[in-house]
Chains A and B, each alone.
Chain A
Amino acid sequence: MEATTRNPSWLRTNGWLLLLLALLILFPFIVGALTDSSPYGVPRGDRMIMRGESVRWQSVLIEVYILAILAMSYNLLFGFTGVISFGHALFFGTSSYLFGLALEFTDLDTGLAIVLGALAGILVCGLLGLLIGLVTLRLKGVYFAIFTLAVAEMFYIFFGRWQLTRAEDGFAISELPTWLDPTQSRLNYYYIALALVVLTFLFIRRLVKSPTGAVFQAIRENEDRAQSLGYNTLNYKLFSIVIAAMLAGVAGLLQVMLNKKVGPELVSVGYTVDPLLMTIIGGVGTLGGPIVGAAGLHLLDIFFRDRELVLGAVTIDIANIWALLLGVIFILVVIVFPYGVIGTWKRWQARALRRQ
């Protein structure tokens, strides 16, 4: 193995990742110490008020983690298997709606409702992915993109008009146990989200480097050839879709619990564009790319959210044109920067090695 001879120790290849992980684990306390704020929030009576820089930054990072899981799931499909979905929000929103319905509209005990709702959400996502895949994947690749877009849009319209879930307004989730509730114990939630990102990353890395993952990449490169080598490519593609859909469902669950609100915006096109853009910016078909993209794009969004752009006499709120800027970034990246941050870096590295 070439890779092992060049990087002999396990620690050297994974050292950077471990260091980053340690930094992220300590992050709430570091910010807390730097800004003199408690990572647990401010106690008032027997409840906690989420106030202070540390708590605020925790929620920013939790959002990054959620988007990172979503983008990683997107990348498994788009980057590693070469199947493009224009409706990833479908899975994100479906699991969150099922979770919300289980919690707020059934008589189940809270703990049981959380477990059942989460399981049902994730399983139904997998099932939806399987169904859409079964209908479309025998046809040209574009059919899957069309179907996911159309079904997502249909769900968006449906949830926006469904009277039971209060149509466009959506509904709030009131009962979450204190240890999980991000408005009570955000630090716990921060670690849960972090753990899920790490698990997703390890899982996808394991999957991609397995023989199954090799077939995924063979399908991406040349499906006919993979088929003629005797692989049933349909089954592999379906497997990839089901896994990606379930992971997107997990991200949806995290989002619902963070905001404690379920609404049709969770199925909106924004949650399809975000992972797509983050994957491309970070690097399509690279392991770290989606995480880099999610962190970069979301932090940029936070940074610009309440700034103004002054063009001569005209002042424009960046928040108002953020979607436009995002779209322009989208087009520019697709045309001039298609390998993304990690992809470009790897190519540059490979070129430097060749020159040596």
Chain B
Amino acid sequence: MSRTNRSSLIAILVIIGGLVAVAFVNSSSLGNFGITLLSGLFQGMLLFLVASGLSIIFGLMDVLNFAQGAYFMVGAYVAYDAQHAGGLIDLTQAIPDPNLRFPIAVLIAMIVGALLGIILERGLLRPLYARPIYQLVLTFGVALVMAEIIKFLWTTTPYSWTEVFGVRDSFFELFGQRFSTYRLFVVGMGIALIVLIALLLRRSRIGIIIRAGVEDREMVQALGINVQTVFTLVFTLGCAIAALGGAVAAPFLGASTTLGDIFLLQAIAVVVLGGMGSYEGTAIGSIMVGLAVAVAQDAAIGTSFSALPSITPMLLLVLVLLLRPSGLFGNAR
């Protein structure tokens, strides 16, 4: 193991250990401690779903997709709409069972996210590869347009999830405290996705091409591989995963127009502190930021400093950048 790897490993252990310790000291009982940890992991997994796309797209294409948060938001709205009666997509007649309708709603959200991703990459970003700074400007503009379209379709009133269905509303008991099964389910799904994407990147042919592209895009092209197609694929996948994140978050967070900004901001913190373009960094960074936010939420209860959880990701980011300027696993030139 090289020295840089060891020092970032120490930094990771210190930060995560510190967060867990703070959570433990702060909580009155073992049950509360468990809730904070689970909630931190839950948020970390949602963050991973936004940040992984952001990170891989940046590593491969040098495009920082500022619209990634908007895809998350679209996912939340579409899933909400498909699950509940009286929306644009009304599935309550076709699929009366809410337990069955939820996976379908999530799937629809992913498909919408993927389609919007293809439109953005093929239609809008591709003409701009010669002018990289404008790509950045463009994704920023697309994020605005998507937020405005959402406001136009679904108004600015936030929706909170009302549909009752099995896995969301069941609980299990531990240390005399009720835990939501749904959070555990999302955490499990997140871990599964981390492993799945890691396998895709490490073991499959397309993954090898993607990793080679992150290292040296021109060399891959020179070897006769159509990098453009890989770009579209990665971009679409990234957007679909962000939409998936929004869809599975919707039962807990509902759907609101501030969702995109919040998650974009946190995902950016994750990607930067993990190191731009590094997959491991993103995975570990997500868990760190998620835990930090959960600890901050717990600490802010009952105090007047209610803004603490929302600025925690940035504080953590500044801390990590002071320790390691290029992020934990980064190579930021």
Contact = CB atoms under 8 A, between A and B. Distances in A.
A141 B317 CA distance: 18
B195 interface: no
B1 interface: no
B28 interface: no
Contact of B131 (A142, A150, A269, A338): A338
Contacts of B64: 142, 145-146
B145 A140 contact: no
Contacts of B145: 324, 327-328, 330-331
Nearest to B272: A146
Given A161-B306, A321-B148, A150 B141 contact: no
Contact of B314 (A84, A154, A280): A154
Interface size class, chain A = 35 or more
B314 A334 contact: no
B231 to A, nearest CB: 17
B307 A162 contact: yes
B128 interface: yes
A331 B149 CA distance: 14
Interface string B255-291: 0000001000100110010001000000000000000
A283 interface: no
Nearest to A146: B268
A154 B311 contact: yes
Contacts, number: 98
B272 A143 contact: yes
B96 interface: no
Interface in A266-308: 269, 273, 276, 280
Contact of B268 (A139, A150, A335): A150
Contacts of A139: 325-326, 332-333
A251 B148 CA distance: 27
Contacts of B138: 331, 334-335
A153 interface: yes
Contacts of A280: 137
Contacts of A157: 307, 310-311
Contacts of B133: 82, 84, 141
Contacts of A160: 307
Contacts of B127: 335
Nearest to B120: A331
Given A150-B269, A158-B311, A324 B148 contact: yes
B124 interface: yes
A154 to B, nearest CB: 5
Interface string B127-151: 1100101101110111011001101
29 contacts: A86-B66, A86-B140, A139-B326, A139-B332, A142-B64, A142-B136, A142-B276, A145-B136, A146-B64, A146-B268, A150-B265, A150-B268, A150-B314, A269-B144, A276-B140, A320-B152, A321-B148, A323-B148, A324-B145, A324-B151, A326-B144, A327-B141, A327-B144, A328-B145, A331-B142, A334-B128, A334-B137, A334-B138, A338-B131
